[in-house]
Amino acid sequence: MKMKFDKVSIILKKSMYFLRYKLFQPSFILSREMRSWIRWRALTAGIESTVSAPEDKGGRKSIIFLVPGTTISGGIAVVLQHANRLSERGYDVEIFSQSNFVDTSWFPNQRVKVLSYKEYYKRLKNESIDILIATGWTTAYPVAMSCAVQKLYFVQSDESRFFPEDRKRTEIIRSTYSLPLEFITEAKWIQSWLRDDFGKESSYAPNGIDLSVFHATEPVAPKSRKIRVLIEGAINIPYKGMDDAYEALSSLDVDIWIVSNNGRPRNEWKFDRYFENVPYGEMNRIYSSCDIFLKMSRVEGFFGPPMEAMACGCAVVVGKVTGYDEYIDDGYNALVVEQGDVIGARKAVVQLVTDVRLRETLIANGLKTATEWNWDRSVDALEAVIMGTKSGT
């Protein structure tokens, strides 16, 4: 009798919790959500939770991706690729954004509907959702707390490394990797890390490249005798390594082009062109204008921009970072230096400036590499997890 009463009590508490913290909140506020997650964890402590396979309804399964926002980023671009391609395969796909400001105009041929927080927040408690997919740490607890039949967590990086000075936030982020969710990831290093640090097995759905978007095309400006080097990344985010990349080039006789979606070049930087918040479908014109692409970030999941640059005809130099070895082979399709090695990066760029044959070899092999990574393989792997037929690629 006591056990039955305890179960009823838990159900009532969870119901009141959702009524108070979910149904009457029109916008996603991180601090409030963090408090609600702590309450939810306390309510469910010691209660076993299982991930069930979705029911076969004889029709299209509903799939919802929950994203932190829709601003320009590689991670969001990956989610949009999956969503659009699953929709093409006949699934009923939507994207829910935790922001009330929704804009995906930067992503070419975006077809799947994106709903803002105020438009969808009640629906997270809707039993008709077959599959709900978390795509970042702020989305993991809402997915775990939902009533979706199948709850997935698409882990694109170790996000606890994004906030090295914020211990409390880091602890919360790491706790999401222990939630009772079904894990999918884009990189083999993440698979190993989830297994070793959290005892979580995960399916592998590697990223691809859309060659209809990334290919050599009409440049923003034609190439000249002077070598042009592109550095790309969020300047205001230290782990993107833009300071290192610029320092490596600052003393060289090359044209420097910069692309950033967060922060402008430092006042003391000297460069030739700067591009801000470039739409995804327009990056190929910038890549096609440059001879060399340099990337020195310190934290990555699956290294996307170097492959994009390869597809557009750039020779690539990268610093060692998690995920680089998914497709980069030092001396074959890129030159690789140690992480944070500014002098090494400078020497690698000089080597490509002076050694035309090496530069052309890397470009040719980079193009070949890009053609080997298509999105069909990745979506096949994700679809296999959704259908419950296998554990991904």
Q: How confident is the model over 27-79, as pLDDT tens digits?
A: 666 666 667 666 766 666 655 554 444 455 556 789 999 999 999 999 999 99
**Calpha distance 204→365 (Å, rounded):** 25
Give residue 20's pLDDT: 45
**Calpha distance 279→131 (Å, rounded):** 29
Q: How confident is the model over 144-181, as pLDDT tens digits?
A: 988 888 999 999 999 999 998 899 899 999 999 999 99
Give residue 21's pLDDT: 43
Per-residue pLDDT band for 388 (boundaries 50, 70, 90) equals confident
If we measure between CA atoms, which residue out of 220, 393, 373 comes closest to residue 306?
373
- Taking every pair of Cα atoms in the chain, the longest distance, rounded to a whole number of angstroms, is 84
Give residue 303's pLDDT: 87
Give residue 10's pLDDT: 55
Beta-bridge partners for 295 = 318
- State mean pLDDT over 106-129: 85
Give residue 127's pLDDT: 60
Give residue 147's pLDDT: 82
Contact 318, 303 (CB under 8 A): yes
**Calpha distance 75→137 (Å, rounded):** 12
Whole-structure pTM value: 0.85
Asked if pLDDT for residue 133 goes beyond 60, the answer is yes
N-to-C CA span, the chain:
47
What strands lie across the sheet with 255-260, from one edge to the other? 273-276, 255-260, 228-232, 292-295, 315-319, 335-337
Average pLDDT, the chain: 88
Asked if pLDDT for residue 98 goes beyond 50, the answer is yes
**Calpha distance 103→89 (Å, rounded):** 24
Q: Domains of the chain, with CATH numbers?
A: 51-208+376-387 (3.40.50.11090), 228-371 (3.40.50.2000)
**Calpha distance 242→240 (Å, rounded):** 6
If we measure between CA atoms, which residue out of 290, 300, 308 comes closest to residue 352?
290
**Calpha distance 133→125 (Å, rounded):** 14
Which residue intervals of 204-338 are DSSP H helices? 242-249, 283-287, 304-311
Most confident of 19-33, 81-95, 139-153: 81-95
Q: Quote the tokens at residue 271.
A: 């460069």
For tokens 């859309």, what's the residue? 210
Most confident of 36-45, 99-108, 288-297: 288-297
